[in-house]
Amino acid sequence: GYVARSAFKLLQIQKQHKLIKAGSSVLDLGCAPGAWLQVACQSLGPPKDGGSVLGIDLKKVKVPPLHCDSRVKTISADVMTLPSHQLRALSPKQKGFSVILSDMCPSVSGITTKDAALSVELGMRALYLAVGRRAALSVYADEDGNQEGKQSDDDSSTSEKSGVLKVGGNLLIKLLESEDAKEIGQISKPLFTKSSWLRPKATRPSSREIYLICQGLKPDEDK
Ligand code: SAM
């Protein structure tokens, strides 16, 4: 069995979009208690096909959940402050990940606007870690496409501005529906070959959860 019902959401997304393939290198942000780790590891196929899953959460994951083999590793860290160069150092051969999943969400306060705002912060962080400075530049680019250098100072001490998602890679971000959440969709759209929204069937009717699915990261032309 799966350690949480969130497994069924990823299974549906996986069935429709095949984000994870045999041999993928997967980064799972907000991975506890570990249901997505289970689905991700199963999606890699048999161990001889290789691949890897790195899970990160504030909470410790009680490992190993069923279906997880030695390809699955987890660390405890705050994704909001973990620098992307450290994340890259944790990726296979330091070359980045081919799939990034974020199921991160704040501990729900019940105050809808506050929860939505926190969810957007976590979602933006996932996008930034994936695509680097391109997440910020697309916001600040003016009409002529000139970029006003108004990018986030994050990670400015390193040369790492390109994010940890490989070209061609896929990104999945859970969000709570809001205007700002839609904007994350707008920012990511030009950076990927295909992007779409999905509300899995396993989502409770009262929930405002929605998943942004971005497929095929385009190369960074400014590099
Ligand atoms: N996908 C998981 C699974 O299938 O088992 C469920 C994830 S749960 C809905 C959301 C998780 O996001 C929580 O475990 C929470 O600790 C984590 N989270 C929230 N903010 C975080 C942060 N800043 N850094 C790391 N994890 C965070």
Ligand 1 centre to CA of 30 (Å) is 3
- The verdict on residue 168 lying in a domain is yes
Q: Which of 26, 28, 31 maximizes ligand 1 atoms within 8 Å of its Cβ, making it the mutation to test the pocket? A: 31
Specify the pLDDT at position 108.
Answer: 79
Q: Which residue has the higher pLDDT, 54 or 147?
A: 54
What residues contact residue 119 under an 8 Å CB cut-off, 6+ apart? 105, 106, 174, 175, 176, 178, 181
Whole-angstrom Cα distance, residue 48 to residue 23? 9
Query: pLDDT band for position 140 (50/70/90)?
Result: very low
- The verdict on residue 47 lying in a domain is yes
Cβ pair 138, 145 in contact under 8 A: no
- The verdict on residue 169 lying in a domain is yes
Over residues 59-110, the pLDDT tens digits come to: 999 867 888 999 999 999 999 999 999 999 999 999 999 999 999 998 878 8
- Which residue puts its alpha carbon closest to atom 15 of ligand 1? 30
Over residues 25-45, the pLDDT tens digits come to: 999 999 999 999 999 999 999
**CATH number of the domain to which 48 belongs:** 3.40.50.150
Q: Which of 91-100, 134-143, 203-212 has the lowest mean pLDDT?
A: 134-143
Domain that includes residue 121, residue range: 6-217
- The verdict on residue 131 lying in a domain is yes
Ligand 1, CB within 6 Å, residue ranges: 4, 6-7, 30-36, 56-59, 78-80, 103-105, 122
- The verdict on residue 1 lying in a domain is no
Cβ pair 116, 177 in contact under 8 A: yes
Specify the pLDDT at position 167.
Answer: 97
Domain count, the chain: 1
What stretches of the chain show up as alpha helix (H) in DSSP? 6-17, 35-43, 84-89, 112-131, 133-140, 179-188
Cβ pair 4, 76 in contact under 8 A: no
- The verdict on residue 73 lying in a domain is yes
- The verdict on residue 222 lying in a domain is no
Strand order in the sheet with 52-57: 72-76, 52-57, 25-29, 97-102, 165-176, 209-217, 192-198
Ligand 1 centre to CA of 31 (Å) is 5
Specify the pLDDT at position 151.
Answer: 46
- The verdict on residue 172 lying in a domain is yes
**3-class secondary-structure state, position 1:** coil
